[in-house]
Structure 1
Amino acid sequence: MQSNTKTHIIQAALFIITIITTTMAGAEWMFGNIFGFVYDFFFFLIGKQEGQQMPASNKPMGWVEFVQGLQFSIPFLLILTIHEFGHYFVAKAHKIKVTLPYYIPFWFGISQSIGTLGAFIRIKEVVPSRLKFFDIGIAGPLAGFVAALVVLWYGFTHLPPPEYIFNIHPEYARFGLNYPQFVYENPAGNLMLGDNILFWFFKNYVADPARLPHAYEMFHYPYLFAGYLALFFTSLNLIPIGQLDGGHILYGMIGKKRFDVVAPILFGIFAFYAGLGLFRTESFATGSDAMFYEQLLYLAIYIYFLYICFKRAFDNSSNALMISLLIVVGQFAVCYVRPDWNGSVNLLPFVLILGRFLGIRHPDTADNTPLDTPRIILGVVAFLIFVISFSPTPFILIE
């Protein structure tokens, strides 16, 4: 009993801290500034010695902005919580011992973040069957997806007037509503949210075109940004690899023998796409010798990165190295034939987390009874949700 109380206190504390960090992150995205407590400290130490004044644009925001940030943190954490309790209640229904969610606060203090690394529940016993793994795995993303749809629908049907952007960027007001043709003459440094099918649908068929924000300003709208991030993380969770929710779903649908063949192939495709365009033949054909060797060093680091990601998938480490080299050669070949094709380096950290820490394979189950037809259909629906929610290039920084 005492142990349970201690665990609940830890979970409650993590949840409260995560509310604070996501609220701060939401305000930072809305107002394009930071709660620069860490920044202030380092600037105090360095700037004081050099006699510098802190730039006005980096002065920390206050209580008013923090409260505004709740417009991001509440819908975002609501979706995350509904997702996790989808897993929790289905696990309880199957009489599987499981914990309440652990939230993971994560805030930089010197640059923008989203305030959290998500949440997870811990299964405290072996899940005995494919069916139970399937049910527990699919419940979270389905519940979270429905919640994300509600948030996106509300956000796109309750867009503020176009003048709202002047609260975020007062410097735009002197140009009026024609500000894009003046302030984006040099668009470098602006951030865009890469479309997925569902987000594109909402923008084109649900939103009032007269109120739809410019693509470079979309992340200043908290409900839209919260809903977009929810779709992004739902799609990542539905990747059918390892112990992700999608891995549980696919394992339940096709069983261990087929899964152990399919999952490494899917992981290889995912890693191949994420790093596509990172290195090209022209990077080594131009510039000085110093630049050539610098690129060669970066390439060696990248190959080692892939090796680390694939090492757990193979009993023989030489196979992991061979696959890593094949992926790099394939990326060079594709980019040589189609130089306009690019992957998304934003996904590479997730490739590392999945390959090195979460694992590509799935735990065995004692009961391997195949799923019934309704569950198979539900599994197909889950992967359709993945297709319409996945953004090939989720965050686009204009260069």
Structure 2
Amino acid sequence: MIWLFLLGLFTYLFITQWVSNLTRTSVWLLWSVAMLPVFVMVVWTIVSRGQTMPTQYSLVLFAGCLVLYLYLIQRGRIERSTMDTAPPAPPEPISEIQPPNLASLRPLNQAEESSLQTCFPWSVFYLKHLEYHPQGVVCRGQLRTTPEAAYRTIRENVEAQFGDRFHVIFQEYYPGEPFFELVVNPAATIEGKNSPVLIRPGFAAALFLLTMFTTTWAGLQVVGRVPTIAALLENGFPYSIPVLLFFAARSFGQFITARKYKIAITLPYFVPIIPLPFFPLGTIGAFTQLKSPIPDRKALFDIGLVGAFMGLIISIPLLAWGLVQSSVVALPNQGGLFNFQALDPRFSILLAIFGKLAIGRELTPDAAIRLNPMAIAGWVGVMFTAFNLMPIGQLDGGRMIHAVFGRRMGARIGRISRFLLLGFAIVYPHLLLWAVLLLLLPALNEPTLNDVLEVDSFRDIVGLLALVILMILVLPAPKFLTTALGM
């Protein structure tokens, strides 16, 4: 029951962090559908007195719930898209008995509409028509200058006319058809201005201390030691301090980058979790939440890049130094990514190369690595960095792909990547958990304010380099490499 509770908690945090802001579908409905296969299998086991559900039934159950889960996310998007493009019905006359239906009112009256039309100079963006919805206005027309100059001019004109009432979004869903969208800024409302402050250092510090306790406990649990002073110094702190350093570095890197671009963002919040046999890490990481739109694709790229870069510059040296102090054991019949006492070095190209360089001849084809606590922290950092480099949704890699190729093409790459990883998981079962988690993530990311402005060639090259690094971290070592390394 404890495992079931923690799995449910992890799924809920996963959905609220990466999925909830991309769809109008209720978080609890998405959570219920995601957890339904687990609940059904538990009930089946109880009713059948310990017998597990047949494999064919399990596959049908998981596939059906996955299709329903993705449909619910897309349904939330369809409702929003339909509402964005379909003009509302004319508002009913105001009655002294019944208040008007505010959802059907236009966000601009006739005088404000005339003012809005003056915000679009014909030499910058020739405005053809407006489309209304309760949250804002879609302005369609023809671009007659560079995207950067057009966005700067239109935004300044709108701000001069309406202040901070709208977010000005410039995007191009179809090639060659850019359009502006004025979305009501919730921060400009009374409720938004009176919302709680983003920076809550006391709450962040409390979560950090609690996570330090759970990760120190995890460092002891991995080697099966009781919490003595010697055990804390040899196994507890050598794991918890480096792994917390890794998560703090990548999260604060994103925090500083977001503040550089004047994006409202929360402090990093660590997520403690009780170490368990199937997930002995003591934490699922630290996260920040962006509370205001990202200005352009360059800022989006930099936020994703800094998170991945900070993760690599911390985790790779930790892994390399820890492997030097690690030892060799017999290769088990079954292993996984969290089997730190007998980790198969062939799980990753990076791990195979680093392991051979650090350990040498002792790392034979029938040998595994017993990781030192610092190497465990480095390996955890490498796994989290690799997962976040996946070119999907709001992950670091998804943000970079969106910035380089555009929102629409980035979503296509994300969908292809999910099914490619699922195919790899059939051959390499240790990737199955990643494949399932990525299937739960929406591939389509939210647009930036100026989503038409492209990134420079340097960011293009860095983005492609990030994909190469991802393959080195994720793909198992091929046969020719293990043969050359004598593994």
User: TM-score normalised to the size of structure 1?
Assistant: 0.62
- Of 257, 266, 269, the match for 1:90: 257
**CA apart distance, 1:208:** 5.5
1:114 pairs with 2:307: no
Q: Which residue of 2 aligns with 1:17?
A: 210
1:378 pairs with 2:465: no
**CA apart distance, 1:111:** 6.5
> How many equivalent residue pairs?
275
**Residue deviations 1:287-337, cap 9 Å, x none?**
xxxxxxxxxxxxxxxxxxxxxxxxxxxxxxxxxxxxxxxxxxxxxxxxxxx
- Of 448, 468, 477, the match for 1:365: 448
Q: Which residue of 2 aligns with 1:227?
A: 378
**Residue deviations 1:354-378, cap 9 Å, x none?**
333x422111223121110111111
**CA apart distance, 1:150:** 2.0
For the structure 1 residues 14 and 200, does the alpha-carbon distance in structure 2 shift closer, same or farther, using more than 3 Å as the test?
A: same
Letter in 1 for 2:446: P
For the structure 1 residues 207 and 111, does the alpha-carbon distance in structure 2 shift closer, same or farther, using more than 3 Å as the test?
A: closer
Q: Which residue of 1 aligns with 2:472?
A: 388
1:131-280 to 2 correspondences below 5 Å:
131-157=298-324, 159=325, 191-193=342-344, 194-207=346-359, 209=361, 215-219=367-371, 221-274=372-425, 276=426
Aligned to 1:117, the other structure's residue is in SS state: strand
**CA apart distance, 1:66:** 3.1
- Of 210, 231, 236, the match for 1:65: 231
Q: Which residue of 2 aligns with 1:325?
A: none
C-alpha distance in 2 between matches for 1:257 and 1:264:
11
For the structure 1 residues 206 and 268, does the alpha-carbon distance in structure 2 shift closer, same or farther, using more than 3 Å as the test?
A: same
8 Å Cα contact 2:343-2:370 kept in structure 1: yes
For the structure 1 residues 150 and 370, does the alpha-carbon distance in structure 2 shift closer, same or farther, using more than 3 Å as the test?
A: same
8 Å Cα contact 2:293-2:449 kept in structure 1: no
C-alpha distance in 2 between matches for 1:89 and 1:26:
30
Letter in 2 for 1:7: R
**Residue deviations 1:150-204, cap 9 Å, x none?**
21232244x27x6xx9xxxxxxxxxxxxxx6xxx598667842443222222222
Of 223-232 and 13-22, more deviation after overlay is shown by: 223-232
User: TM-score normalised to the size of structure 2?
Assistant: 0.51
C-alpha distance in 1 between matches for 2:205 and 2:332:
46
Query: RMSD of aligned C-alpha atoms?
Result: 3.0
Structure 2 unmatched runs, 5+: 1-193, 478-487
8 Å Cα contact 2:269-2:286 kept in structure 1: yes
C-alpha distance in 1 between matches for 2:195 and 2:442:
33
8 Å Cα contact 1:238-1:246 kept in structure 2: yes
**Residue deviations 1:28-65, cap 9 Å, x none?**
22x2x27xxxxxxxxxxxxxxxxxxxxxxxxx554432
Letter in 2 for 1:19: M
**Residue deviations 1:118-162, cap 9 Å, x none?**
1111111011311111111111111110112221232244x27x6
Letter in 2 for 1:28: Q
1:28 pairs with 2:221: yes
Aligned to 1:118, the other structure's residue is in SS state: strand
C-alpha distance in 2 between matches for 1:390 and 1:96:
32
1:80 pairs with 2:247: yes
Of 239-248 and 195-204, more deviation after overlay is shown by: 195-204
C-alpha distance in 2 between matches for 1:2 and 1:203:
50
8 Å Cα contact 1:99-1:123 kept in structure 2: yes
Question: Rg bigger for which structure?
Answer: 2
Q: Which residue of 2 aligns with 1:170?
A: none
Letter in 2 for 1:195: F
**CA apart distance, 1:217:** 4.5
Aligned to 2:238, the other structure's residue is in SS state: helix
Of 382-391 and 248-257, more deviation after overlay is shown by: 382-391
**CA apart distance, 1:206:** 4.0
Structure 1 unmatched runs, 5+: 35-59, 166-179, 277-341, 394-399
**CA apart distance, 1:7:** 2.7
Of 238-247 and 103-112, more deviation after overlay is shown by: 103-112
For the structure 1 residues 97 and 185, does the alpha-carbon distance in structure 2 shift closer, same or farther, using more than 3 Å as the test?
A: closer
C-alpha distance in 2 between matches for 1:152 and 1:185:
20
**CA apart distance, 1:230:** 1.2
C-alpha distance in 1 between matches for 2:399 and 2:210:
30
More strand by share: 2
Q: Which residue of 1 aligns with 2:200?
A: 7
Query: Runs ≥4 in structure 1, deviation > 6 angstroms?
Result: none
For the structure 1 residues 5 and 385, does the alpha-carbon distance in structure 2 shift closer, same or farther, using more than 3 Å as the test?
A: closer
